[in-house]
Amino acid sequence: MQRQLRLILVLSIVVLTAAVVVVLSLTPIYTATTLVMVDPADKNVLAPQSSTGSVAAADARIEGEVLLARSDNVLLTVIEREGLVGNPEFNHQPGLVARFLSFLRLREPVDLDPDQVTQQALAKLARMTSVQRHRATYLLSISVASEDPDQAASLANAVAAAYIDTQLTAKVQSTMDARTKLLEQLDTARQDVVGSDGSFDRYVSQNLATIIDQTGNAELSRIKAELDRLGERRADEASELTALQKALGEQDFAALSSRLADPELTSLEAQRQVLLSAITEPSDEEARTAQLSSLDRELQSRATALIDGRRALVQEIQSDEASQSRNLRLAILSSALSSDTLTEIYDLQQRAELARQQYDQLQARSQQLQAEATLQLPDSRVVSPALRPADPSFPNTGIFLILAALSGLALGIGVAFIYENFIGGITTDEQLAALSRTSLALSIPRAKTQPSRGSVSDLILETPLSAFSEAIRRVRTNVDHQLTKKNFEGQNRAPVIAVTSTVPGEGKTTAALALAQSFALSGRKTLLVDCDLRRPGLHEHLGLAPAQGLIDALAADDPGAALKSAMVTDEDTKLLVLLGSHRSAGATDQLVTSRNFDKLIAGAARAFDVVILDTPPLGPVVDGLYIARKADAVIFLVQWASTSQQDVRRSLLALDGAIDDRNVLVPVLNRQEVAASSWHRRYAHYYSQELG
């Protein structure tokens, strides 16, 4: 994180800036909440002692109320009452793609029909509305979010009111549906009562003679005759009453006076006829019309009074008939009847009594349901109406910016981790050691000054106390220690050290030359061989241009003469260097795998104390892998913060297949920035001011 601090800070600032821009561009949303209390006990004024039932049933009831409060029926009621179809916030707005296509004239705007507009408003209100139950309580919070705080409060209260109205309407409708069903049963019960009473009368009529014979009661015949007479009289009077009512409705006063035979009514009708037949002047027409209207009213009043008298007479006859019917029943029941007749009569009476009881119960329940429908109360009530919210509920600027800052920091750390471990170059010894699966990796700092002879490797001679020179000596010492651990000292030959890298330009040749010079300065007879047959470069570092080089010696039948002409000695360090001269025009892997190359390495190992091979990079060509097999130690150079970690992994995997446990692998991080080296910061006073 310290190495990638700049990247982390930049990404965090970018994300936080984008969050600020987004927050400033967002439309604030205000949320208002109405608190509603639901009573799970049914509200019934006529039965105030109703219970709520079990806890599970009450919970299920509350959950059902939540669904009802946010149902489409409630929301459509709010849309209609509040006129939301014409509200700008609920108007249908085409999407960004539709507006863009319309701007390019690739799509014509679509006009929605009223149903579609209503559906759009319903969908928008449904998204704006939320209904929640407060844990295990009977409280519901109805919340509405809107761009206008006043509208948010108004809609929250409107949704609560529509919900309560819908609940009450459903209760009233349920009660009325039950009453309608009950009225159907009431008609059936009424017919049963009439039928049961008629059955008794028919039985008496059909069996009266038998009953008289059984009882010897002549009074029964008299009562039955009187009952029949009253029935005939009632029928006649009822028929006459119907005719009179019809004549009154038609204002046929002549027929009324004829049927009623009332002197006063007859006199009024005569006056009316005289007035109708009288011839008057047009000027007297108004007075004549007024007189006719007055007579008509008197006739109407007198006829109505007389008809009411006839109606009272019919009712009196019906009362007498009912009295005689009761007398007949009592007389029959008090007579000495046979057991069969008594049983039959008792059954008829019981059926009639049960029919009347059922009819009375249904009638009472019907009246009760009518009263309940009128006196229904809602099961919910508003306990805290919504008020105008003072602050927007969205966006929560503080939380939003804190989350954005944390997200930016997390993104920066994630990108830095990916860059550090997968994409970017290697920047620490620990990274290189982890990649190479070794316990230790070394580093060589980048040279800050240029030596007089032009090659950075000459800093070994010119500034022996510089950080560069000390790093080369540290590499040399580490190689010696690693070879000692491998028990190399017991062999009768010099160690062969190969210096390689992943890609060209990582400072491999410079490091190989500096390492060889360091070995030579330590008093050991050292040979440095330029094995990069594709691109030899040691002669350029030494400022030489040999006519022949290693590639000529390996290709010759007698390589001795070519080797002698390619050998040079560094006068300052007594280092012997086998140079390359020119690039190969063909494949070189066959040269480094040839017998001549094997003889060269074997002879050099016998003749020198140290043999260092400057090999080609592992990425472009395979020569370095063949040469690594012939070396006792392989120094693998990686340029600081440059070479891709994926390439380094591939090269290390290739080396794993080329060498075995007998070989020493020394990973080295080359050209490390001095400012990034914690080692140098702590021990800079041990080095000279010329920081090579």
Nearest alpha-carbon partner for 248 in 311, 189, 191, 333:
311
Cβ-contact 483, 676 below 8 angstroms: no
Looking at residue 684, its pLDDT comes to 61
Cα dihedral: 254, 259, 260, 261 (round 10): 80
Whether 347 and 322 map to the same domain: the answer is yes
Residue type, 356: R
Looking at residue 152, its pLDDT comes to 94
Whether 529 and 382 map to the same domain: the answer is no
Whether 389 and 369 map to the same domain: the answer is no
CATH number for the domain harbouring residue 572: 3.40.50.300
Q: Structure tokens of 291?
A: 């007189």
pLDDT by residue (tens digit) across 201-257?
777 777 777 777 777 777 777 877 887 888 888 888 888 888 888 888 888 888 888
Residue 406 resides in a domain: no
Furthest C-alpha separation in the chain: 173
Whether 173 and 313 map to the same domain: the answer is no
Whether 547 and 496 map to the same domain: the answer is yes
Residue 417 resides in a domain: no
Q: Which domain holds residue 435?
A: 427-686
Q: Structure tokens of 191?
A: 């017919």
Q: Structure tokens of 499?
A: 């210096």
Looking at residue 692, its pLDDT comes to 39
Distance CA 418, CA 187 (A): 86
Q: Name the DSSP letter for residue 106.
A: S
Looking at residue 203, its pLDDT comes to 75
Measured CA to CA in angstroms, residue 446 lies from 253, 459, 563, 670 at distances of 136, 12, 34, 7
Last residue of a domain, one of 340, 374, 408: 374
Whether 393 and 453 map to the same domain: the answer is no
Distance CA 142, CA 132 (A): 7
Structurally, the chain folds into a number of domains equal to 3
Q: Which residue has the tokens 């030579």?
A: 520
Whether 241 and 385 map to the same domain: the answer is no
Residue 413 resides in a domain: no
Measured CA to CA in angstroms, residue 293 lies from 298, 301, 347 at distances of 9, 12, 60
Q: Give the helix, strand, coil percentages of the chain, each rounded to 5.
A: 65, 10, 25
Nearest alpha-carbon partner for 156 in 175, 143, 139, 141:
143
Whether 55 and 137 map to the same domain: the answer is yes
Whether 391 and 277 map to the same domain: the answer is no
Looking at residue 322, its pLDDT comes to 80
Q: Please spell the DSSP secondary structure of 390-442, one letter per residue.
A: SS-SB--HHHHHHHHHHHHHHHHHHHHHHIIIIIS---SHHHHHHHHT-S--E
Residue 419 resides in a domain: no
Sign of CA dihedral 219, 222, 226, 231: positive
Q: What is the mean pLDDT of the chain?
A: 84
Q: Structure tokens of 35?
A: 């608190």
Looking at residue 105, its pLDDT comes to 66
Residue 421 resides in a domain: no
pLDDT by residue (tens digit) across 642-656?
888 889 999 999 999
Distance CA 490, CA 186 (A): 122
Cβ-contact 120, 92 below 8 angstroms: yes
Q: Under 8 Å CB-to-CB from 424, ≥6 apart: which residues?
A: 641, 644, 645
Sign of CA dihedral 383, 385, 390, 392: positive
- Residue numbers of the chain with a pLDDT score lower than 70: 3, 42-53, 92-112, 197, 279-283, 333, 337, 421, 674-692
Q: Under 8 Å CB-to-CB from 244, ≥6 apart: which residues?
A: 256, 259, 260, 303, 306, 307, 310
Residue 416 resides in a domain: no
Measured CA to CA in angstroms, residue 39 lies from 33, 132, 379, 620 at distances of 19, 16, 5, 83
Q: Structure tokens of 460?
A: 């070994």
Whether 471 and 353 map to the same domain: the answer is no
Whether 590 and 647 map to the same domain: the answer is yes
Cβ-contact 404, 13 below 8 angstroms: no
Whether 562 and 580 map to the same domain: the answer is yes
Cis preceding linkage at 546, omega within 30: no
- Give the predicted TM-score (pTM) of the model: 0.52
Residue 566 resides in a domain: yes
Residue 214 resides in a domain: yes
Question: Beta strands 633-639 and 664-672: pairing type?
Answer: parallel
